[in-house]
Amino acid sequence: YTRTAFFELASNLVGRHAARSCAIVMADIDRFKAINDTLGHAAGDTTLAHAARLIAGAVRLSDIVGRYGGEEFCILLPDCTSRQAGELAARLVDEAARQKVRHRDGLCIEYTISAGYAAADIPATLDDPTELLSALLEQADQALYRAKNEGRNRAVAAPEQVILNPAVRPRPRVSEEALAAR
């Protein structure tokens, strides 16, 4: 999906409480700019399409995959633990490293990806699903940066528990009677 469609679908799924927990995996093609700069944008496009097919083929039907930007992909995994998200991220990293993308003129392109992932329970009182998604994305993105800084071609976990910013923590629901009594 596009970035916009990904966020609409993810917000809808989290907002409906269709899952009790979820995880996000962010995957990024390593040194993608070098592919574009040395082999041309057509080779970059071929590599990008190949990575997208690889990711789409690795997820469940209930998962939501979207292009986050440039050469970065975002995967929402409903009812998924951090361990399960890590297994998927590691599988993607391993599988990408084994790929040879055939480009025109017989050129074979090899690429790797790095991934960061985070998981959280979905609070029953969550008023705005974008708050949880933003927190998960931020943590998965930080884990992705760690993967890049630690040498690329690896999957890195965010801290075990994603905590919503206290400023955006879900508010308890207050009954009409309680509001009237104030």
**Mean pLDDT for the stretch of residues 125-139:** 91
- Residue 116 and residue 49: Cα distance in Å, rounded? 20
**Mean pLDDT for the stretch of residues 16-36:** 94
Burial of 8 (0-12, 13-18, 19+ CB in 10 A): middle
**Mean pLDDT for the stretch of residues 102-131:** 90
pLDDT in tens, 32-55: 999 999 999 999 999 999 999 999
Determine the distance from the C-alpha atom of residue 10 to the mean position of all C-alpha atoms in its chain, rounded to a whole number. Answer: 11
Burial of 69 (0-12, 13-18, 19+ CB in 10 A): exposed
The residue whose two tokens read 């809808």 is 12
Question: Left (φ > 0), alpha (ψ -120 to 50) or beta: where does 162 sit?
Answer: beta
pLDDT in tens, 44-97: 999 999 999 999 999 999 999 999 999 999 999 999 999 999 999 999 999 999
- The pTM assigned to this predicted structure is 0.85
Query: What is the three-class DSSP state of 110?
Result: coil
87 annotated active-site = no
**Mean pLDDT for the stretch of residues 118-134:** 89
Catalytic choice (8, 71, 87, 131): 71
Beta strand 21-29 pairing with 113-121 = antiparallel
pLDDT interval class at 164 (50, 70, 90): low
